[in-house]
């Protein structure tokens, strides 16, 4: 919650209309419409009332109607003519065995509770309230005026007294969001560096997700690598409540700089893009061969033509003429290359995101292929043959994700779209702003201490 001092300051600065979000010192401040000027004490007293019952109809003051979303209540300060000292709140966390009925039955007849339960089913079923979650009951002369339950870190269920019924809604929990730039230098690992900088491991996972298509966070990260992250930190009542979106992140990995910028399109879909507006989410090539036909699909059970028995076939066979070039379907590193009685000449490549692909029965390898060679999507790695256990010329193509065989035809084969051309100007402007913030933080870090 914003300090009273700051609110008074705001009120002086914006005496008549504070109804919108105002960005102050990089903090998103939500303020209500202030139309009265009351002494501080009264404001303090009645603001509590408003925290509880923001939706109680406000006497018409001739102003535009009062914002009724409960999400702004925690920063609400306007006094009301209806302010009443009888408002009582009960706050707590759900205990084992608590139910909506046991919590509310003192103030509401069971019939109404059942009705609320029925009506809340689509929003959040009251039967699903869980141990450990905070709740708040607001009473006016022992009558329930509001019940709030925190579903998770993001949303709360709000049941509010209206004239002759109760409204049920799910409202976002409002946080104060502070944008911060966090810079870390890698000595051992990213998670270690993040911890050293006083941040939490959830930030490591966020970064790993963003760059998962470009960087192998277990093997590629080296001492001397750097990360700069512009991220929102959520606070509520002064307490840290996790990170919101990473707005931008720079990663210098083995001398190469990767940049990621958050962009939300007109449909509200969020994604990370490089400076050119290309999605960081990469796709596999649809097939490792240009001219081929599938001679045996991926299956968990098929009749093996040579072994003459049913076996799983955790790959896709492409029949193709001898020496048809075989391409790697994505960037990666060769982890295995060699001859095997069953698989013949074969290559396995480790990719981003825990993926691995294997190419069996090759006639020969492409030049320069050896263990630990870096390969890039579309590079020819070898040529179709029938080495090992094979009846005809074909490529047996296999894909694993986190060590488990997956059907390559069903994995993500479509790259996320780039930023739409009509949104490109906005994207560029935004990403420049983000970059400036990161650079400003870098410069600040360079100033030597006195």
Q: What is the binding site for Zn ion (CB under 5 A)?
A: 315, 317, 396
Cβ distance to Zn ion smaller for residue 317 or 379? 317
| The two structure tokens encoding residue 221 | 């990260």
Cβ distance to Zn ion smaller for residue 315 or 408? 315
Considering the complex, what minimum distance in angstroms separates the CB of residue 232 from Zn ion?
48
Considering the complex, what minimum distance in angstroms separates the CB of residue 295 from Zn ion?
9
Cβ distance to Zn ion smaller for residue 315 or 344? 315
Q: How many CB atoms lie under 10 A from the CB of residue 11?
A: 17
Cβ distance to Zn ion smaller for residue 369 or 396? 396
Considering the complex, what minimum distance in angstroms separates the CB of residue 390 from Zn ion?
8
Q: State the residue for tokens 């309230």.
A: 129
Considering the complex, what minimum distance in angstroms separates the CB of residue 350 from Zn ion?
20
Considering the complex, what minimum distance in angstroms separates the CB of residue 396 from Zn ion?
3
- Cβ-proximal residue to Zn ion, closest one: 396
Cβ distance to Zn ion smaller for residue 75 or 317? 317
Considering the complex, what minimum distance in angstroms separates the CB of residue 297 from Zn ion?
10
Cβ distance to Zn ion smaller for residue 232 or 408? 408
Considering the complex, what minimum distance in angstroms separates the CB of residue 373 from Zn ion?
24
Cβ distance to Zn ion smaller for residue 271 or 315? 315
Considering the complex, what minimum distance in angstroms separates the CB of residue 360 from Zn ion?
6
Cβ distance to Zn ion smaller for residue 161 or 361? 361
Cβ distance to Zn ion smaller for residue 223 or 392? 392
Considering the complex, what minimum distance in angstroms separates the CB of residue 246 from Zn ion?
41
Considering the complex, what minimum distance in angstroms separates the CB of residue 398 from Zn ion?
7
Contact 125, 117 (CB under 8 A): yes
* Spatial separation of the C-alpha atoms in residues 308 and 317, rounded to whole Å: 17
* Spatial separation of the C-alpha atoms in residues 376 and 201, rounded to whole Å: 31
Cβ distance to Zn ion smaller for residue 169 or 358? 358
HEC sequence for the chain: CCCHHHHHHHHHHCCCCCCCEEEECCEEEECCCCCCCCCHHHHHHHHHHHHHCCCCCCCCCCCCCCCCCHHHHHHCCCCCCCCCCCEEEEEEECCCCCCHHHHHCCCCCHHHHHHHHHHHCCCCCHHHCCCCCEEEEEEECCEEEEEEEECCCCEEEEEEECCCCEEEEEEECCCEEEEEEEEEECCCCHHHHHHHCCCCHHHHHHHHHHCCCCCCCCCCCCCCCEEEEEEEEEEECCEEEEEEEEEEEEEEECCEEEEEEEEECCCCCEEEECCCCCECCCCCCCCCCCCCEEEECCEEEEECCCCCCEEEECCEEEECCCCCEEECCCCEEEEEEEEECCCEEEEEEECHHHEEEEEEEEEEECCCCCCCCEECCCCEEEEEECCCCCCCCEEEEEEEECCEEECCCCCCCCCCCCCCHHHHHHHHHHHHHHHHHHHHHHHHHHCCCC
């Amino acid at each position: 919650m914003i300090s009273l001092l700051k609110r008074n300051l705001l009120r002086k600065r914006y005496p008549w209309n504070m109804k919108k979000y105002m960005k102050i010192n990089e903090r998103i401040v939500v303020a209500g419409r202030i139309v009265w000027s009351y002494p501080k004490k009264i404001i303090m007293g009645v603001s509590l009332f408003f925290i509880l019952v923001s939706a109680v109809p406000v006497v018409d003051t001739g102003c535009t109607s009062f914002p009724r979303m409960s999400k702004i209540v925690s920063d609400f300060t306007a006094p009301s003519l209806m302010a009443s000292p009888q408002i009582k709140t009960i706050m707590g966390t759900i205990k084992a065995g608590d139910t909506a009925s046991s919590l509310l039955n003192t103030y509401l007849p069971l019939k109404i509770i059942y009705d609320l339960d029925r009506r809340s089913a689509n929003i959040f079923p009251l039967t699903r309230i869980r141990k450990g979650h905070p709740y708040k009951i607001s009473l006016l002369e022992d009558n329930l005026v509001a019940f709030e339950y925190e579903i998770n870190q993001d949303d709360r269920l709000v049941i509010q007294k209206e004239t002759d019924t109760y409204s049920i809604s799910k409202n976002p929990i409002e946080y104060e969001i502070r944008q911060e730039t966090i810079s870390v230098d890698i000595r051992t690992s990213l998670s270690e560096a993040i911890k050293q900088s006083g941040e939490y491991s959830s930030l490591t996972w966020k970064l790993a997700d963003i760059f998962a298509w470009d960087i192998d966070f277990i093997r590629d990260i080296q001492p001397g690598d750097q990360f700069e992250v512009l991220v929102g930190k959520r606070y509520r009542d002064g307490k840290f409540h996790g990170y919101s979106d990473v707005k931008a992140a720079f990663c210098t990995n083995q001398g190469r700089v990767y940049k990621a910028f958050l962009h939300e399109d007109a449909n509200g879909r969020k994604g990370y893009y490089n400076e050119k507006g290309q999605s960081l989410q990469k796709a596999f090539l649809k097939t490792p061969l240009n001219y081929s036909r599938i001679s045996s699909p991926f299956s968990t059970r098929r009749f093996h033509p040579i072994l003459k028995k049913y076996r799983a076939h955790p790959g896709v066979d492409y029949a193709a003429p001898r020496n048809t070039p075989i391409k790697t379907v994505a960037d990666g590193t060769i982890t295995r290359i060699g001859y095997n009685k069953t698989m013949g000449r074969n290559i396995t490549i480790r990719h981003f995101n825990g993926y691995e692909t294997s190419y069996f029965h090759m006639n020969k390898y492409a030049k320069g292929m050896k263990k630990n060679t870096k390969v890039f999507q579309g590079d020819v790695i070898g040529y179709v043959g029938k080495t090992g256990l094979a009846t005809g010329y074909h490529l047996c193509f296999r894909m694993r994700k986190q060590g488990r065989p997956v059907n390559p035809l069903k994995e993500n084969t479509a790259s996320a779209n780039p930023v739409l051309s009509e949104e490109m100007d906005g994207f560029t402007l935004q990403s420049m702003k983000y970059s400036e913030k990161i650079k400003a933080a870098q410069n600040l870090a360079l100033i030597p201490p006195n």
